[in-house]
Copies of this chain bind each other. A is one copy, B any other.
Amino acid sequence: MELVTIDDVRSAAERIRPHVLRTPLLPARWGDAERPLWIKPENLQAIGAFKVRGAFNAIGAVTERTSGPVDVVAYSSGNHAQAVAYAAATFGLRAHIVMPEETPNVKVQATRDLGARVVLCGAGEREKVADEILAETAGVMIPPFDHPDVIAGQGTIGLEIAEDLPSVRTILIPVSGGGLASGIGTAIRALCPQATILGVEPELAADTAESLREGHRVDWSIHDRNRTVADGLRSQPSALTFAHLQRVLDGIITVTEDEIRSAVRELVYRGRLVAEPSGAVTLAAYRNAATPPGETVAILSGGNVEPRMLEQILADPR
């Protein structure tokens, strides 16, 4: 299997530069003295999550390979939906986003507001519906993580960290489908070989931790994975991302639901940043696991939290 290379990540950085925020690496004076902490605030991206990086790189690559407009298709109920809609609109392309019927209306509307056509589908139908749209439109599918261009796009975060803090000792990255950790890990392995690269999963959706221990992908039921409050971390790696994770990760830390909620609160009051639970798992790991001493970067992957959930977490983080 061919893995993404540092050159792919560098090409992605060139491609997305005009469209994506180069986030600062924020020094968090409130970290431990022996593990100085920096936050990489991807919640500040235009749609509130790192997903724009992969989407702009994948769609940008499509536009380079094709002449004339092409439709793009994606299925997602989360941040990938808005990222694809936003990137497609920027390139003047039509986007078709397949979403489950139970998607909260606010997310459907946000995706439509970005100019996309939203197609609602029943449970288990999303691939069939997406395939039909692909056939009708002769379009291109932009998957949320299972694609080299998406992985390379997310990897640009690693490039920026290597530029801003080349002596980094530990990097903490949320793991769901694994595209983010695959990309960042690829960049950091190449540029900061001294760094320890750790994935972070909720205890309630720790399929990748188990898979890495077993040496092959282990399936957790979607029922089990849906238990975590971190709704962006309920996917599982593909063969492609799992191969990257086996290569680049030094380990995976799991965190509890209470630890995640406390981390959301800490980011609000000490970091002045709004994180969704999935984006706060890395601070939860920093606070509750024995990570290595030295300069530490926690990836804050996104900030799209439902108002009611944030209010509840702030009122009672445990």
Contacts and interface: CB of A to CB of B under 8 A. Distances in A.
A46 B24 contact: no
B272 A43 contact: yes
Contacts of A124: none
Which size bracket describes the interface of A in this complex? 20 to 34
Contact of A23 (B21, B24, B29): B24
A307 B266 CA distance: 11
A27 B272 CA distance: 18
Interface string A262-277: 0000001101111100
B307 A314 contact: yes
A303 interface: yes
Contact of A27 (B29, B46, B273, B304): B46
Contacts of A27: 21, 46
A272 B48 contact: yes
B44 A29 contact: no
B21 A44 contact: no
Contacts of A44: 24, 26, 41, 272-273
Contacts of A268: 274, 310
A107 interface: no
A315 interface: yes
Contacts of A41: 44
A22 interface: yes
A132 interface: no
B272 A303 contact: yes
Contacts of A258: none
Contacts of A273: 44, 272-274
A311 B307 contact: no
Interface in A282-318: 303-304, 307, 310-311, 314-315
Contacts of A43: 272
A284 to B, nearest CB: 18
A59 B4 CA distance: 49
Contacts of A29: 46-47, 86
A156 to B, nearest CB: 15
A148 B311 CA distance: 42
A86 B272 CA distance: 18
A311 B316 CA distance: 11
Contacts of A275: 272
Contacts of A46: 27, 29
Contacts of A21: 24, 26-27
Contacts of A22: 24
A24 to B, nearest CB: 6
A315 B310 CA distance: 10
Given A21-B27, A273-B274, 19 more contacts: A22-B24, A23-B24, A24-B24, A24-B44, A27-B46, A29-B47, A41-B44, A43-B272, A44-B272, A268-B274, A269-B274, A269-B307, A272-B274, A272-B303, A274-B274, A307-B314, A311-B314, A311-B315, A314-B314
